[in-house]
Amino acid sequence: MPRIVDKKEKAARIGTAAIAVFRRRGYHATRMADIAEEAGTGKGTLYEYFRNKEDILRLEFERYFAVFESGVKAAMARADSPGQRLFALVRFAFDHVREWEDHCAVYVDYFGSAQREDDPVFSLATIYAEMEDVIRTLIEEGQAVREIDESLDSEATAELLVSLFDGFVLHGVFAERHAQPDSVLDAITRLLTSGLFAGPLQHPQDADGGARSGERAK
């Protein structure tokens, strides 16, 4: 008999509004009043749907991540070889990030300062570790069937790919993108496929003493 509301939908509206403001002003600079205003409600109403400021972010993150996870699964299910699955995974991840750009920017902001390794759902470290594991396995499977170059260090390459992904996200936050995102994706494809150089590169001798270098170039 009181007002009837779709609680889920209203929570979603608030969550979306919050992400928008977080993106605009940054998580820390955002006041609850800002979120309320953006969502078109009173301050108190926010607390009917979320326990506190951090909780709004957490719940949005869970939503974001659930979509990501199921998307990854679907994308990989459509591919037939380890290498193609790897490709599908990379492609999906980059597309997903572009679609959830605001969320990503906010997570960089938020996780950039807070290490909360206690909460596994909210722990980027855990999520990254899982991602790297999946990728590493794909690389190794690809190597087993000679689809991927056997000389690759699978662990390092997995980390590299996740880093590349992170960089793509971060770049969208820090810098204005000048090139078309599509063309950057093409460049990534190109890079993964055949590297940058036209032919074997003549490597420079390490001039700084080579302390950290070793036998890096082939």
| Contacting positions for DNA (CB under 7 A) | 1-5, 10, 29-33, 36, 41-45, 47-49, 52-54
Question: Which of 132, 131, 112 shows the shortest CA–CA distance to 57?
Answer: 112
Rounded-to-integer distance, Cα 207 and Cα 185, Å: 34
Q: What, of DNA, a copy of itself, none, does residue 156 touch, CB below 5 to 8 Å by kind?
A: a copy of itself
Size of the site for a copy of itself (CB under 8 A): 95
Residue list 53-112, contact with a copy of itself (CB under 8 A): 75, 78-81, 83-84, 87-88, 91, 95, 98, 105, 108-112
Rounded-to-integer distance, Cα 140 and Cα 156, Å: 12
Amino acid identity at 128:
Y
Closer to a copy of itself at the Cβ: 6 or 193? Answer: 193
CA distances from 23 to 42, 116, 160, 174 (A): 21, 21, 27, 12
Question: Which one of residues 8, 119, 197, 209 is an interface residue with a copy of itself (CB under 8 A)?
Answer: 197
CB of 6 to a copy of itself, least distance (A): 18
Q: Please tell me whether residue 50 adopts helix, strand or coil conformation.
A: coil
